[in-house]
Structure 1
């Protein structure tokens, strides 16, 4: 009898050790239970200078304090920006090719330390690799990766794959966000017979605010190749892109889903280079109201998607007249797979913690649990 009990205990322990955040249909699961991703964006302590080159030592205490605050509020996830535009990582040579993750050789250990701390506080981390919302004076590094496939391959081979290999077994790694708001550098008003590459629906939408630099083909290839590389190293990895608006990740409401599987594969040619879940950001307009593409005026089903959809950025200040409790509550109760408020960096932590506390006890079979114990 004792042998049977011991065997069951060992099996149960192994199951817990092997648990990964996963996807079933249009929702997340962990350890066999449906999960709602309740959390925030940090998104950085020192913009583009938190990881690698020994930099994490200077911000470690701040990150761990944020993880503790999130745990106290009952949250389970966080979005953290990593390379941004290549200011301090990865390591570029003089020709714009990537030769490593960082010049100082601490990048992997920095990320492991951060993920270990997140696990202690039961927080899933979603690293955001790149940023398309701002065109900095170091943008030429990122620009080379988007335009030049040789340079992109150098990043994939010398930085991305080694990073995924080193971190894939870290329990707190929730998934990979390839880029924040690439539409900031997308060319609107492009005409194509293929909806994947037609951006006329973005006329006067604000797309291209950081420079009308890239066609959909260029950006989608950039994502397709990175997603394929991540999944090659870690087939269970979850991958997304932080879209600025619902205008680009639904075929409903008169828009085009640029990030659906067929578009990504068509642009890059990699069959496995697709997204695991969608992510949309939502702020109200100048009139104080959400647009027709906002998740805060629809149920999830209205988007016609067959993968989970996380509301990856929102805040009370631009919340269409809704307070932070109502925003988190709406995300949970209208079929979305998660909600991450914006942002600790911008001084909104106290407000977001109120919203997170508001939903921390939510546990509904139809929408999932917020409480997670990461093993």
Structure 2
């Protein structure tokens, strides 16, 4: 039994030394120190590109709320919602053709977005707002000629300052926002010789302007750089297919995106089926979600995964390491297959089976004191009866000796500040004091106040700077201060 426990302890210690302080491969880093697995649907609009003008919003909001209520009942936790779409109705421009600059937004636009986001949040849901779509550059779009926001610096800057900025200023820290999608399926705007599909009429109409890949990448990078200071939520791009997100090309690496997003329809299943192909095969440096997937697998999926429903397919995608799952589309009047008819009870069943799906989780790692390197005078209590109040039913009792210390080996993926929580129990009436060392340098002195009993665990919170790679965090007896208290664990975020 002792040998088994020793092997287990060594395994846990090894894992603690190599785990990164980032979101898992199956979630998106959200608002700094948390993670989120988006699970839900594309709305994607009620009034295409005009949902948030006063005229449209006031006329349709009650209907939209009813649809949101239906989504909530059927397990939707994330709603991808198009903002400007093909730019036929918004934002406002100084003219109707190329070279026209953005002058602002229709009346009420920002406040109506806030109202919609507030309502989603009240239902336990989050919005994933997509600003524009490749539709703005399609030959069929005779109502908008403003695709030069991609390539004309003056037009682009007016778009950033007069359309994007008011929105991200109002919603950039809202808990009802899952993230921001810069542009939907921009590959249909990229010239064929760069690997895009601007001339590919099989899946989309031909583009008016075939942009270079360099122009698209610059546009996306400029968006990221402009939006980033205003928002705490992650930023991405909704790619038309895995083809452009690692399968054949990697259009979006090095642009500062927080996660990748590709869309999966059956036309690409013969080349890439995420139910049988792990996310790791794409060789990406960030988590990747599937931001659009066919509404009715039974009728729209020809792959091998069975049964053909959203539980089976969603589960396979989750277990293959993808970080999100959004069905197309709730409200497409042009399609006989809509998400509202096919997601129940599957999304709710997925959340019942997998705790991470559709939920915010703490992006933190715990390091147990009983698995750390302890020196001086101490007693180790690993997984013992009577220690149920402590994490993993264990702790280390620290006694008075000049060299008493607890040393943790931790790993960080980047050089930055981290939140450190030290969990302990102090049943004495007097406070205990220890010095905090990071990478052998004293950075602070911590006071551990009385917690009321030995069965009550408290915590001390402090910020520590860690370097990329291996680090040490050590708590040492401070001077002649009395110890005689229990160390439970540390938690890093």
TM class, shorter-length = 0.7 to 0.9
The answer to whether 1:260 aligns with 2:242 is: no
Of 344, 352, 358 in structure 2, the residue corresponding to residue 370 of structure 1 is 358
The verdict on how the C-alpha distance between 1:24 and 1:205 changes in structure 2, with shifts beyond 3 A counting, is farther
The verdict on how the C-alpha distance between 1:29 and 1:224 changes in structure 2, with shifts beyond 3 A counting, is closer
Please tell me whether the aligned partners of residues 361 and 370 of structure 1 are also in contact (alpha carbons under 8 angstroms). no
> Cα distance, 1:371 vs. partner?
4.3
Q: Higher strand fraction: Structure 1 or Structure 2?
A: 2
The 5-angstrom pairing of residues 129-144 of structure 1 reads 129-133=131-135, 135=138, 136-141=141-146, 143-144=147-148
Q: Higher helix fraction: Structure 1 or Structure 2?
A: 1
Please tell me whether the aligned partners of residues 92 and 104 of structure 2 are also in contact (alpha carbons under 8 angstroms). yes
Deviations 1:115-147 (A, max 9, x none): 010001011101111111572113312x12112
> Cα distance, 1:344 vs. partner?
0.7
Give secondary structure in 1 for the equivalent of 2:82. strand
The answer to whether 1:309 aligns with 2:288 is: yes
The verdict on how the C-alpha distance between 1:70 and 1:172 changes in structure 2, with shifts beyond 3 A counting, is same
The 5-angstrom pairing of residues 185-200 of structure 1 reads 185-188=189-192, 190=193, 198-199=194-195
Give secondary structure in 2 for the equivalent of 1:256. coil
Name 2:346's counterpart in structure 1. Answer: 355
Deviations 1:247-271 (A, max 9, x none): 1111xx5x1201001xx4xxxxxxx
Scaled by the length of structure 2, the TM-score of the pair is 0.60
CA–CA distance in structure 2, aligned partners of residues 320 and 303 of structure 1: 22
Scaled by the length of structure 1, the TM-score of the pair is 0.78
Name 1:279's counterpart in structure 2. Answer: 261
How many residues are matched? 320
Give secondary structure in 2 for the equivalent of 1:295. coil
The verdict on how the C-alpha distance between 1:204 and 1:182 changes in structure 2, with shifts beyond 3 A counting, is closer
The 5-angstrom pairing of residues 166-205 of structure 1 reads 166-188=170-192, 190=193, 198-199=194-195
Give secondary structure in 1 for the equivalent of 2:252. coil
Rg larger for: 2
Name 1:98's counterpart in structure 2. Answer: 102
The 5-angstrom pairing of residues 17-56 of structure 1 reads 24=23, 26=25, 27-28=27-28, 34-56=35-57
Name 1:217's counterpart in structure 2. Answer: 214
Please tell me whether the aligned partners of residues 102 and 163 of structure 2 are also in contact (alpha carbons under 8 angstroms). yes
Q: Which has the higher contact order (CA 8 A, sep 6+)?
A: 1
The verdict on how the C-alpha distance between 1:173 and 1:89 changes in structure 2, with shifts beyond 3 A counting, is same
Name 1:295's counterpart in structure 2. Answer: 274
> Cα distance, 1:114 vs. partner?
0.3
Name 2:165's counterpart in structure 1. Answer: 161
Deviations 1:167-211 (A, max 9, x none): 1132201111111111122211x2xxxxxxx42899979577432
> Cα distance, 1:25 vs. partner?
5.0
CA–CA distance in structure 2, aligned partners of residues 221 and 185 of structure 1: 14
Please tell me whether the aligned partners of residues 239 and 263 of structure 2 are also in contact (alpha carbons under 8 angstroms). yes
Shifted more, 205-214 versus 63-72: the winner is 205-214
Of 312, 328, 332 in structure 1, the residue corresponding to residue 318 of structure 2 is 332
